[in-house]
Amino acid sequence: MNKLILYFVFSLIVFNVQAQNRFFTKDAKINFNSSTSVEDIVAESNQATTLIDIDKNEIAFSVLTTSFKFRRALMEEHFNENYMESVKFPKAKFNGKIISPIEWKSEKVVLVDVKGVLTMHGVSNEIILKAQIIPGKNKILAITEFKVIPEAFGISIPSAVRDKIAKEVTIKIDAAYTPYQP
Amino acid sequence: MQLTPLINHKTLNMTKRKTVQWLLWILLIGLIAAFSAIYFAFNMPRRNLANENSVYLLSAKQLISDFRNDETIATKKYLDKAITVTGEIKSIRNLDNHSIVFSLEDAMEGVSCTIDSADIVTYASKLLHYKTGSRGTFKGRCSGMLMDIQVINCVPVQGN
């Protein structure tokens, strides 16, 4: 009986430890910015899902492309129908690994390199991005900013509007992770 | 409107002048039409789900099982369509942009219905009845599945 209780307590501890290894949020903020002399196009989604595994130093991130909000409804329509083809490719994803050293217990701001694969519009490209991470016991904050070239992801932009859309689109992500309890 | 001074009177007889005048008027009207079409397209209103009829009316459980069974088929079926879903509210949370998310059937992997911040005041009295544990019905636009199935631009539907 004692053994059983011990085993039960032990398994609880193990479970608890395991649960704390993964942090996640469903409310990560992602925005992108394409600014040219002709037009500034800004869009934001507050509903990206992202997970950090602090044992494996892995990060997964995904967002539904139709959840981006633009200033104008017409921009939103063009973005989903002409460029991202959201019906065919409803998600944009990133799966990566932190390749710089990181001490998760430190609670100090660290600048890390994250190497991974970004998939959008059905095309995957390997990228390395810089992220700023603030580890914590019950909360991890992460922000990143990187640039993507639409054409690298098979997004063709008609020449008539090419000068309205930046050659490189800046993407910013801001996420506050909490322990993942499945 | 004086459009005629643009044309040299001496070289044109009356009929020619009339034709040119007509052409200029047509051109002007055409231009106004084109500009207003561009203007309205550019400033076209957002979809207001309150004015749309739902293509699908179903329980949150049904929507979840459709997506779990085959995400590709479900995405094709529901993406960007106006749908009305009903289910038990498991969690209510506020986003940084002041939108409110109601999770139906499961806080993690259920159906997340988002009410835009701009619509909260409009529906405040209805939303008061939507508490954790109660049943909620939302009409919105399905934007697909991550962990949860997301329904955005939601409006609360009465008579749940």
Pair B91, B54 in one domain: yes
Using only the alpha carbons of chain B, give its radius of gyration: 26
pLDDT over 70 at B122, yes or no: yes
Pair B80, B27 in one domain: no
B88-114 burial string, b = 16+ CB within 10 Å, else e?
Answer: bbbeeeebeeebbbbbbbbbebbbbbb
Q: Which pLDDT score, from 0 to 100, does residue B160 have?
A: 43
pLDDT over 60 at B6, yes or no: no
**H/E/C letters for each residue in chain B?**
CCCHHHCCHHHCCHHHHHHHHHHHHHHHHHHHHHHHHHHHHHCCCCCCHHHCCCCEEEEHHHHHHHHHHCHHHHHHHHCCCEEEEEEEEEEEEECCCCCEEEEECCCCCCEEEEECHHHHCCCHHHHCCCCCCCEEEEEEEEEEECCCEEEEEEEECCCC
Cβ-based contacts of A182 with chain B (< 8 Å): 108
How far apart CA B85 and CA B62 sit, in angstroms, is 9
pLDDT over 80 at B4, yes or no: no
Query: What are A14's strand-pairing partners?
Result: none
Pair B71, B147 in one domain: yes
pLDDT for A67-98, tens place per residue? 999 988 888 999 999 999 998 999 999 999 99
Cβ of A182 within 8 Å of Cβ of B108? The answer is: yes
Residues of chain B whose beta carbon is less than 8 angstroms from a beta carbon of chain A are 41-47, 75-76, 79-80, 93, 95-97, 99, 101, 108, 112, 114, 141, 143-148, 150, 152
How far apart CA B134 and CA B139 sit, in angstroms, is 17
Domains and CATH numbers, chain A: 22-179 (2.40.128.110)
The answer to whether A150 and A118 are in contact (CB under 8 A) is no
| Residue B28: both structure tokens together | 């002007």
Q: Which pLDDT score, from 0 to 100, does residue B106 have?
A: 93
Q: Which pLDDT score, from 0 to 100, does residue A164 have?
A: 86
Question: Confidence band (pLDDT; 50, 70, 90) for B17?
Answer: confident
Number of folded domains that form chain B: 2
Nearest-Cα distance to chain A for B135, in Å, is: 22
Q: What is the DSSP letter of A167?
A: S
Cβ of A63 within 8 Å of Cβ of B146? The answer is: yes
Pair B56, B130 in one domain: yes
Nearest-Cα distance to chain A for B34, in Å, is: 17
Q: Maximum Cα–Cα distance for chain B, whole Å? A: 86
> Which of B45, B95, B144 has its CB closest to that of A64?
B144
Pair B92, B60 in one domain: yes
Pair B118, B55 in one domain: yes
Question: Confidence band (pLDDT; 50, 70, 90) for B3?
Answer: low
Pair B60, B127 in one domain: yes
Which residues, in sequence order, are CB contacts of A27 under 8 Å at separation 6+?
Answer: A46, A47, A48, A176, B93, B95, B96, B101
| One-letter amino acid of A9 | V
The answer to whether A177 and A50 are in contact (CB under 8 A) is yes
- In tens digits, chain A (182 residues) has pLDDT values of 566 665 555 555 555 545 478 999 999 999 999 988 888 899 999 999 999 999 999 999 999 999 999 988 888 999 999 999 998 999 999 999 999 999 998 889 999 999 999 999 999 999 999 999 999 989 999 999 999 999 999 998 888 888 888 889 999 999 999 998 77
Share the mean pLDDT of chain B. Answer: 88
Pair B60, B34 in one domain: no
Residue B152's CATH number: 2.40.50.140
Pair B61, B93 in one domain: yes
Pair B59, B32 in one domain: no
pLDDT for B133-149, tens place per residue? 999 999 999 999 999 99
Pair B120, B63 in one domain: yes
Nearest-Cα distance to chain B for A1, in Å, is: 36
Cβ of A90 within 8 Å of Cβ of B150? The answer is: no
Q: What's the domain range around B35?
A: 4-42
Pair B29, B78 in one domain: no
Q: Which pLDDT score, from 0 to 100, does residue A1 have?
A: 55
pLDDT for B33-90, tens place per residue? 999 988 887 777 788 888 889 999 999 999 999 999 999 999 999 999 999 999 999 9
Cβ of B45 within 8 Å of Cβ of A62? The answer is: no
Q: Which pLDDT score, from 0 to 100, does residue A161 have?
A: 84
